[in-house]
A = this chain, B = another copy of it.
């Protein structure tokens, strides 16, 4: 988890709770090419609005992230607070304020207290070190039980290029363009437009394929900073091989983080891959997979290891996916349980139940309408999901 030119630090600033890491800073020695994808929720937090505006220039040099407070629905005061935080960061780092990206996660609707930032930022700047990225990943956790990181090294024109990435997210996870917080750091030399395009594709194939509870956050943010210190042949439209290799690596680390988020979904005890094939269009396949993945009846059946395929087919039937009811097959991993819309009996069900007792498994729904398919990753709905969310603010 190190990338040349990047350093990081974290602190317990007391934003919501005392003694719990809640503030992280990431710094690039030189300005980096930067891109971001943000929540499509109509309600957007102040840091999302600020970052999006600043990223038009395609550059960033620092990311300040806090947990404990989302700075969302905080009006003009919230926007002023986000700006103050970024100004303080620019000051302690001695860089242009426009190069600071800010990200917040936590409770919606409470004013962001500025004192913790004022007190903690000078120390954070002093403590910056290349091996502290993981500490930032921990500082941005809310209901997450584990920190989430991923990394990759690829060769661009014979030059090794490094990616290190981190994410947080456990509840209010139902991506639509981007979700949760994710920061990808790279030493790649890359054109801003290329980076932007590759990030959107990566988000679409990773964060946009997961769901914990169908709730889209107001603060979803995925940022990528590439400072060029690898000195690789520039990745741009004239370097299609570089675009492909870097794009795949970016998608891979985002996908890795996305699956870590679902596996650490609030209260989750199981990671389930819902795959729908044989649909007429990709949009229909996606709707089918998403509807199954979000059905509380399906998710509680996963929790209870109940091979209750009737709930899956009922969810399929209320999705926007067209199909003939007598042309539906359903399998749990390799166990075919439903053929042509009907159950295959007690023996198949017993085998399917064994699959559902695993920590991770697939549900494959095969239609006979076309050649489109989609996959969505979800988790089960457990007692702990209710416990966490009935108690979260108290």
A382 within 8 A of B: yes
* A390 touching B300, Cβ below 8 Å: yes
Q: Is A31 at the interface (CB under 8 A from chain B)?
A: no
Q: Which chain A residues numbered 307 to 366 have a C-beta less than 8 Å away from chain B?
A: 308-311, 313-318, 322-323, 325-326, 338, 340-343
Residue pair A306, B215 in contact (C-beta under 8 Å): no
Let me know if A42 is at the binding interface, CB within 8 A. Answer: yes
What residues of chain B lie closer than 8 Å to A88, measured between beta carbons?
Answer: none
CA of A372 to CA of B136, assembled, Å: 46
Provide the residues of chain B in CB contact with A341, threshold 8 Å. Answer: 73, 75
Beyond A310-B73, A386-B386, whether A41 also contacts B297 by CB under 8 A is no
Tell whether A304 is near chain B: CB-to-CB under 8 Å: yes
Q: A123 an interface residue at 8 Å Cβ cutoff? A: no
Q: Which residues of B contact A44 (CB under 8 A)?
A: 317, 325
Q: How many identical chains are in the complex?
A: 2
User: B213 contacts A325, CB within 8 Å?
Assistant: no
- The distance from the CB of A179 to the nearest CB of chain B, in whole angstroms, is 11
Note all chain B residues with C-beta closer than 8 A to A74: 342
User: B residues within 8 A CB of A214?
Assistant: 294-296
The smallest beta-carbon distance between A348 and chain B, in angstroms, is 11
B43 touches A317 (CB 8 A): yes
Q: Which residues of B contact A238 (CB under 8 A)?
A: none
Contact, CB under 8 Å: A383 / B387: yes
A107 at the interface (CB under 8 A from B): yes
User: Are A216 and B317 interface neighbours, CB within 8 A?
Assistant: yes
Across the interface, which residues of B come within 8 angstroms of A301, CB to CB? 389-390, 392
* Residue contact B343 to A42, C-beta cutoff 8 Å: no
Tell whether A381 is near chain B: CB-to-CB under 8 Å: yes
CB distance from A289 to the nearest CB of B (A): 15
Does A296 contact B42, Cβ atoms closer than 8 Å? Answer: no
Measured between beta carbons, the chain B residues less than 8 angstroms from A315 are: 215
> Beyond the given A75-B342, A383-B383, could you list 14 further A-B residue pairs with CB under 8 A, ordered by the A residue number?
A41-B314, A42-B325, A43-B325, A72-B314, A73-B325, A73-B342, A74-B342, A75-B326, A109-B313, A214-B295, A214-B296, A216-B318, A304-B392, A385-B386
Between A and B, 16 residue pairs with Cβ closer than 8 Å are A40-B318, A42-B316, A109-B342, A215-B295, A215-B311, A215-B314, A217-B314, A218-B314, A297-B389, A300-B385, A301-B389, A303-B386, A304-B389, A304-B390, A306-B393, A382-B386
